């Protein structure tokens, strides 16, 4: 067991839940953040280590909700060692002129504003706490490097995450705060179900894509989080080996 603490956004499902379970199994104290309490409680119960979990009802797109969640963590635990800035969402694939403005705004609110608000709160807490410092790990995407057809809102948001990562990695140096980004491709969660069924490719074809177990992502985040603060992985890409990312067509 360790006294190290991590806050994971979107901890009620997918990559967030898998990562929370991995950290709890590894002896960390884990703050489980999400909009709905029930899935967070399910994550805690599933771990068998609910006594080391802190449930935080938090809407990452709501400044007051984010502030309240981080304030509670500071009161209950006193410090934050790692933020896994994970919560995100997508939108239905379409050419940009067919994308509803409401979908653009919803994706931006979670993937850009939400990432900013949580990073802002974590940075402030890490800067004020003693000893000073900590680590922020942003969940990017393969889309931070190359888009899928019809993915303008999601792809734009993940490029924004890369900008956030770079600025935090620079600004954090003065305060012992490291920041890195994990770019994930085809981890088998609900978001990856279309890849396993068949998804549009750059040439217009529909093809099934390889996927990987989400546990590999959780292991990678654990590795990044466990490094001493004098060491940083600015960008780590983890993907199903044969997914159509590296290559042509």
Q: Is 154 a catalytic residue?
A: yes
**Counts of helices then strands in the chain (DSSP H, E):** 8, 9
Query: Closest Cα partner for 118 from 166, 78, 165, 183?
Result: 165
The answer to whether 61 touches 89, Cβ cutoff 8 Å, is no
CA–CA distances in Å: residue 91 to residues 69, 156, 157, 183, 234? 27, 12, 11, 18, 27
Q: Which of 40, 154, 160, 244 is catalytic?
A: 154
Residue 123 to residue 58: CA distance in whole angstroms: 17
User: Using CB atoms within 10 A of its CB, is residue 38 exposed (0-12), middle (13-18) or buried (19+)?
Assistant: exposed
Residue 188 to residue 206: CA distance in whole angstroms: 18
For tokens 């806050």, what's the residue? Answer: 7
Please enumerate in sequence order all residues whose Cβ is within 8 A of that of 50, keeping only pairs 6 or more positions apart, or say none.
Answer: 44
Stretch (H or E) spanning 183: strand 177-185
> What is the dihedral angle through the alpha carbons of 190, 191, 192, 194, rounded to the nearest 10 degrees?
100
Query: Closest Cα partner for 24 from 51, 61, 63?
Result: 51
What residues are annotated to the active site? 154
């Amino acid at each position: 067991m360790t006294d190290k603490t991590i806050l994971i956004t979107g901890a009620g499902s997918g990559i967030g839940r898998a990562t929370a379970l991995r950290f709890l199994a590894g002896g960390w104290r884990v703050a489980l953040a999400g909009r709905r309490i029930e899935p967070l409680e399910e994550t805690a119960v599933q771990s068998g280590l609910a006594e080391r979990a802190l449930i935080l009802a938090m809407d990452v797109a709501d400044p007051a909700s984010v502030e309240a969640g981080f304030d509670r963590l500071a009161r209950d635990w006193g410090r934050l060692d790692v933020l896994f800035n994970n919560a995100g969402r997508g939108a239905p694939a379409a050419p940009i002129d067919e994308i509803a403005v409401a979908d653009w705004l919803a994706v931006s609110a979670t993937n850009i504003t939400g990432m900013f608000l949580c990073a802002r709160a974590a940075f402030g807490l890490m800067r004020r706490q003693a000893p000073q410092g900590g680590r922020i790990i942003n969940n990017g995407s393969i889309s931070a490097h190359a888009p899928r057809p019809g993915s303008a809102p999601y792809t734009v948001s993940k490029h924004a995450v890369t900008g956030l990562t770079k600025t935090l990695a620079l600004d954090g140096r003065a305060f012992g705060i490291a920041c890195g980004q994990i770019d994930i491709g085809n981890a088998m969660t609900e978001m990856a179900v279309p890849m396993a069924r068949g998804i549009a490719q750059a040439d217009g074809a529909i093809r099934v894509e390889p996927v990987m177990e989400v546990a590999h992502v959780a292991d990678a985040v654990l590795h990044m989080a466990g490094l001493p603060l004098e060491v940083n992985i600015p960008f780590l890409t983890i993907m199903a080996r044969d997914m159509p990312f590296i290559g042509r067509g």
